[in-house]
Structure 1
Amino acid sequence: MTAGGRRLATGFTEATDSPGLLLWQVTQRWQAAQRAALRPFGLTHVQFVLLASLTWLATDGVVTQKNLADHAATDQMMTSQVLRALEAMGLVHRLPHPTDRRARALAVTPEGEALANRAVVAVEACDAAFFAALGDGVREFAGALRALRNAAG
């Protein structure tokens, strides 16, 4: 037995004192809410993130798979697999890159753009409801998340 009679050698008195555990618990609940919000659109959360990210990035010109993966902080292999699914759904196209023969340019179809714009309304409403418990602290919380993301590389 460890100090305090616990079997787990942790520095925390209570399990819920662990920020990692709390982040895990909150993330699980948030992901469940996102899945429910996206169900009517026939999209998984990662499909939505990549479709919405591509729609966002396309405003600035040619988008490659690497650009998209970097923006969404997703693994390139998973990004490729999800893009194949989105392409099969008629939501994106992978086209020859205009200047790099090794790369593919990604494009959102009109159907993909329309779906992304309908789904983002549901996702943002879901976020607003989920984070409402923070009240006026939402902006500060988002800043803390950005700091963690940036520190993690």
Structure 2
Amino acid sequence: MSESSEKATPGFLVWRLSMKWRTAVDRAMAPLGLTHAQYSLVASLYGMQRAGERPSQRRLADHVGLEPLYVSKLARSLESAGLLERTRDPRDPRAVQLALTEQGRDTTRQAVKVVQGLLEQLLAPFGGLDSERTRDFEHDLVTLLDAPLDPLAVTGEPDKEQS
């Protein structure tokens, strides 16, 4: 660990790791014509479709943690690229359902393999994907993701803010 990382706050380290991951996925997805955000959408949609679901844009946005308006923009660009189709939900004409096309499923399968390789590299210091340390890390990440985080509830001195 570098000296600057040893003195960093947990918030800064989370940000650095997320940027490292995003950059690596963006670079790895470029040959497939995807960005990290697009990959997050198609990979999640792929998993949902395999489970028999045809989610709405809103449901997919909630699943991946992106704003619905951003998901709509991404979905339109993926539709233009021939990777997914958007259709009106027959039960709710305001809702748009999403499904991968055959080309989208093929591209997503390739992308998942590439990202799986990146994940193996990232988790190698923990002993790999199936190690107990990785399982503990996953548990800790879920705990942090489930913890409430309300920026409006923050109190304290402005000069004592930390990342």
Q: TM-score scaled by structure 1?
A: 0.84
Identify the match of residue 100 of structure 1 among 92, 110, 115: 92
Candidates 36, 40, 43, aligned match of 2:31: 40
Q: Does 1:142 align with 2:134?
A: no
Question: 1 CA distance for matches of 2:16 and 2:43?
Answer: 25
Query: Which stretch shifts more, 75-84 or 97-106?
Result: 97-106
2:27 matches 1:31: no
Question: What is the one-letter code of the residue matched to 2:134?
Answer: V
Q: Tell me, which stretches of 5 or more residues in structure 2 are unaligned?
A: 150-163
Once the 2 structures are TM-superposed, how far is the Cα of residue 99 of structure 1 from its aligned partner? 1.2
Equivalence for 2:46: 55
Q: Aligned partners of 2:54 and 2:124: how far apart in 1? A: 37
Deviation, structure 1 residue 49: 0.5
SS of 2:147 mapped into structure 1: helix
Q: TM-score, normalised by structure 2?
A: 0.80
- The Cα shift of 1:39 comes to 1.8
Query: Relative to structure 1, is the Cα distance of residues 32 and 84 closer, same or farther in structure 2, using a 3 angstrom cutoff?
Result: same
* Structure-to-structure mapping, 1:1-153, within 5 angstroms: 16-58=7-49, 59-135=51-127, 136=131, 137-152=133-148
In the alignment, residue 86 of structure 2 is paired with which amino acid? Answer: R
| 1:36 to partner: Cα distance | 2.1
Gaps of 5+ in 1: 1-13
Aligned residue pairs total 140
Identity of aligned pairs, percent?
34
**In structure 1, distance between residues paired with 2:36 and 2:29:** 7
Contact map agreement 1:15 1:21 (CA 8 A) in 2? no
Shift of 1:26: 1.7
Structure 1: 4+ residue segments shifted above 4 A: none
Equivalent residue of 1:152, what SS? coil
For residues 131 and 35 of structure 1, the distance between their equivalents in structure 2, rounded to whole angstroms, comes to 18
Per the TM alignment, residue 61 of structure 1 is displaced from its structure 2 partner at its CA by: 2.7
SS of the residue corresponding to residue 98 of structure 2 reads strand
